[in-house]
Chain A
């Protein structure tokens, strides 16, 4: 059996952490894209679209991410498609992220003065033109800080992918613990690596928030 020295444990964890980073990045980007689509429905004039997207957000915000992971993992398989933990984690994190981001962004869109909608509609702009050229550029300015803040939640969310068997940082920690029986050391290091990933983002989000308050 291999001898697990401190450096071996740390190396293995760092090696696994790249999957945490990769999954976070992919989920954040695809979640942002889906979230933008949901946002368009959420702030549209059409009541059915608003109701549908509100239900979507309620479901993904009102159920545990772990349940969503299980549902995608076992649910897609019902259609006869074999899903790898990687795909299930990606799907679940994407939809979960999109629900939170669209709700955050809705707040930002609603912070844009009503007159901007009215002015752009008197210029005969379509809904998409209004959003694209008038509303979103203004909303984006205030959306940056909470969006960066939410990225921390996405990184922490990827830890749950370990439960359906995706080998990222947390799963690697569990496996190393099973091999070394040094849980205190292993989980301290796991926590420390997560902290190193998340803290700079938290700090940056806070700084952006502060800067926004000064601008007003």
Chain B
């Protein structure tokens, strides 16, 4: 018997898909902003901060970069309540995403900071700027300009990785696919359609990020 594909069976569930897509987009957007904020702080601590802070950030970065996101997610969602920190599914998803992107962006932004010529920092020092002022006004913008493409692709990788949050029942796009296939038993159609939605989202995000890059860093 040949299986008849039927994508029409997905149509009644368009609202479920739309809600899932919205959650994935919001999850990605929020964790991008917070994660890059965390990454900037981490990179600053590693390059301009005291030694102990640099070591602490180093341990954080290596721990996150060398363990799977799903284990980090399970740790946050199942493990933290044992310490008295109770989180909802969505809160755990947001927290795990921020922690994850924070580590990767720390490493990316640090590379950008280290690529800033020493002379610029010395010039700042000779103008009697404090370390913080040098970091804020001299180093940071140049660093971001250099690593913007790498940061953009990391954001898209994190967005794709966010599919895993469905496993703690956070209601993202993958959760929508799981929900639909449990109702109409059209597993392949549901996952294929959602995979295409992810692909479109990745392509759209790439375009948007490139546009933002042109706007923020003109003439690059």
Contacts and interface: CB of A to CB of B under 8 A. Distances in A.
Interface of A: 58-59, 62-68, 70-71, 74-75, 78-80, 152, 155-157, 159-160, 162-163, 170, 173-174, 177, 182-184, 187-188, 190-191, 194-195, 198-199, 202
A67 B5 CA distance: 18
Scoring A64, A74, A155, A195 by chain B CB atoms within 10 A of each residue's CB, the highest score goes to A64
A74 B177 CA distance: 13
Q: Is the interface of A mostly helix, strand, loop or mixed?
A: helix
Contact of A74 (B70, B174, B191): B191
Given A159-B68, A184-B83, A202-B65, A74 B188 contact: yes
Contact of B82 (A174, A182, A202): A182
B126 interface: no
Nearest to A69: B191
Interface of B: 1, 3, 5, 62-63, 65-72, 74-75, 78-83, 160-164, 166-167, 174, 177, 181, 187-188, 191-192, 194-196, 198-199, 202-203
Contacts of A68: 195
Nearest to B203: A62
B79 A70 contact: no
A75 B188 contact: yes
Contact of B68 (A63, A67, A71, A156): A156
B66 A202 contact: yes
B158 to A, nearest CB: 11
B66 A198 contact: yes
B9 to A, nearest CB: 14
A178 to B, nearest CB: 10
Closest 5 CB pairs of A and B: A159-B68, A64-B163, A183-B78, A198-B66, A74-B187
A170 B195 contact: no
A170 B81 CA distance: 19
Given A64-B163, A183-B78, A202-B65, 9 more contacts: A63-B160, A67-B191, A79-B3, A80-B3, A156-B68, A159-B69, A163-B164, A173-B74, A194-B68
A67 B188 contact: no
Given A78-B188, A160-B70, A191-B72, A63 B199 contact: yes
Contacts of B75: 183-184, 187-188, 191
Contact of B67 (A74, A177, A183, A194): A194
B74 A62 contact: no
Contacts of B162: 64
A195 B191 contact: no
A74 B74 CA distance: 25
Contact of A163 (B69, B82, B167, B196): B167
